[in-house]
Chains A and B, each alone.
Chain A
Amino acid sequence: MEELFRTVYPVEAADYTSAGQASADIKRKLKQLGVGGDVLRRVAVASYEVELNLVIHSMGGELVLTVYPEAVQLVSSDRGPGIPDLEMAMREGYSTANEEARSLGFGAGMGLPNMKRNADDFSIESELGKGTTITMRFNLPL
Chain B
Amino acid sequence: MTILDFAGKIEARNLTPEVSLDKAVTCGYCCDLLSWVMAHGDEGMAWVTVQTHMNVIAVAVLAEMACVILPEGIVMEGDSLNKAVEEGMCVLSSPLTAYEICGRMAGMGIPAHN
Assess the B39–A110 pair: CB atoms within 8 A. yes
Assess the A108–B64 pair: CB atoms within 8 A. no
Tell me what chain B mostly uses at the interface: helix, strand, loop, or mixed: helix
Q: How far is the CA of A106 from the CA of B55 in the complex (A)?
A: 10
**Closest approach, in angstroms, between the C-beta of A38 and any C-beta of chain B?**
11
Assess the B32–A48 pair: CB atoms within 8 A. no
| Beta-carbon contacts under 8 Å, B4-62 to A | 32-36, 38-39, 41, 43, 49, 51, 53-56, 58-59, 61-62
Assess the A114–B55 pair: CB atoms within 8 A. no
Interface size class of B (residues with CB under 8 A): 20 to 34
Assess the A20–B54 pair: CB atoms within 8 A. yes
**Closest approach, in angstroms, between the C-beta of B93 and any C-beta of chain A?**
18
Assess the B55–A19 pair: CB atoms within 8 A. yes
Question: Is A141's CB within 8 Å of the partner chain B?
Answer: no
Assess the B61–A104 pair: CB atoms within 8 A. no
**Closest approach, in angstroms, between the C-beta of B24 and any C-beta of chain A?**
17
Q: A19-B55, A20-B55 are in contact. Are A108 and B62 (CB under 8 A)?
A: no
**Closest approach, in angstroms, between the C-beta of A1 and any C-beta of chain B?**
27
Q: How far is the CA of A17 from the CA of B38 in the complex (A)?
A: 18
- Please, how many residues of chain A have a CB less than 8 angstroms from a CB on the other chain? 24
Q: What are 15 A-B interface contacts by the 8 Å CB criterion?
A: A23-B58, A23-B62, A24-B62, A24-B87, A41-B43, A44-B62, A45-B38, A48-B38, A48-B59, A48-B62, A104-B34, A105-B34, A107-B33, A110-B39, A114-B39
Chain A residues near B (Cβ < 8 Å): 16-17, 19-20, 23-24, 27, 41, 44-45, 48-49, 52, 104-111, 113-114, 117
- Given A45-B62, A107-B35, A117-B39, list of 16 further CB < 8 A pairs? A24-B61, A41-B43, A44-B63, A49-B35, A52-B55, A104-B55, A105-B33, A107-B33, A108-B34, A108-B35, A109-B35, A110-B33, A110-B39, A113-B39, A114-B38, A114-B39
Chain B residues near A (Cβ < 8 Å): 32-36, 38-39, 41, 43, 49, 51, 53-56, 58-59, 61-64, 79, 87
